[in-house]
Structure 1
Amino acid sequence: MLLAIILPFLSFIVRGKILTGILCLILQITLIGWIPAAIWAALSLNNERAEKRNEKLIRAMRENRK
């Protein structure tokens, strides 16, 4: 999470979203754009974590049915 706030573009690149990271870097270059870029990266990271949790729960529920 700290990486998403300090270097938002790098947070995307580390997660394999190269084009999004480049777009975020362009936004981050301006001082005004730094705050939206950091918020965007943090929200994206939280959404990705939530999706992984949901997928894990769905798999567990499907296994319990069998």
Structure 2
Amino acid sequence: MTLIAIFFPFISFLLRGKILTAIICLILQITLIGWIPAAVWGVLSLQNSRADRRNKELIKALK
């Protein structure tokens, strides 16, 4: 999934159900200069999503 977030950031957002964010990312990704910020944005968003899921599981385990 991380490779998808690097090479095709908009697909990474689409697979997680964030359609509007994917469209904005695709517009940014269309330009060559915007590809790097889009890739960074995709990877950071993916990492934040994983951290949120991990935190929810830890809280659920503590209850």
**Normalising by structure 2, what TM-score?**
0.97
Cα distance in 2 for partners of 1:61, 1:22 equals 38
Partner of residue 48, structure 2: 47
Instruction: Give, as a single letter, the amino acid of the residue that structure 1 aligns with 2:14.
Output: I
**Normalising by structure 1, what TM-score?**
0.93
List alignment gaps of at least 5 residues for structure 1: none
> Over the residues paired in the alignment, what is the CA RMSD in angstroms?
0.3
Q: Percent identity between the aligned chains?
A: 66
List alignment gaps of at least 5 residues for structure 2: none
Q: How many residues align?
A: 62
* Stretches (4+) displaced over 2 A: none
Cα distance in 2 for partners of 1:10, 1:53 equals 22
Q: Which protein has the larger Cα radius of gyration, Structure 1 or Structure 2?
A: 1
